[in-house]
Amino acid sequence: MQIYTSHQIAGQEIKEHLGMVRGSTVQSKHIGRDLMAELKTIVGGELRGYTELLEEARAEAIRRMIEQAERLGADTIIGVRFTSSAITNKASEILVFGTAVRLSR
C-alpha cells in the first residue's frame, strides 16, 4: 500500500476514489513511563518512553487504516493526516485518515 500526504501523485492518474479511510488507537500511559517522565522533567530532555508510546500508537493507527483501505480494494491512500486528542488525563487517541484510491496502471 502506497501512502501519501499529497492529494496528487506526480506521473500517476487516480482511476477511482473509494472513500475516506481511517485508523485509530487509544493508548494509556504506563506507570513506569509516568515515573520516568516525572523524573526527566526535573533535569530536562526527551521523554523517550512517551516517544516510543506515540510511535507504537501511530504505527497501529496506520496499520488499521491500511486494513480498511485494502477491504475497499485500494492500492493507495492519499491526503493522509494525523490528529490526536486527550481522552482522559491518562489516555490519548491517535487518529490517521486519508482517501483510499486506485491508481491507473
Q: What would the pLDDT profile of 8-51 be if each residue is shown by its tens digit?
A: 999 999 999 999 999 999 987 655 555 555 555 666 666 677 77
Is 93 in contact with 26 (CB distance < 8 Å)?
yes
Nearest by Cα to 23 from 8, 1, 47: 1
Give pLDDT tens digits for 41-90.
Answer: 666 666 677 778 889 999 999 999 999 999 999 999 999 999 998 887 77
Q: With 0.85 as the threshold, say if the pTM is over it.
A: no
Please name the helix (run of DSSP H) or strand (run of DSSP E) that holds residue 27, with its range, or none.
strand 14-28
* Domains of the chain and any CATH numbers: 2-28+56-103 (3.30.110.70)
Instruction: Tell me the C-alpha distance between 19 and 4, whole Å.
Output: 15
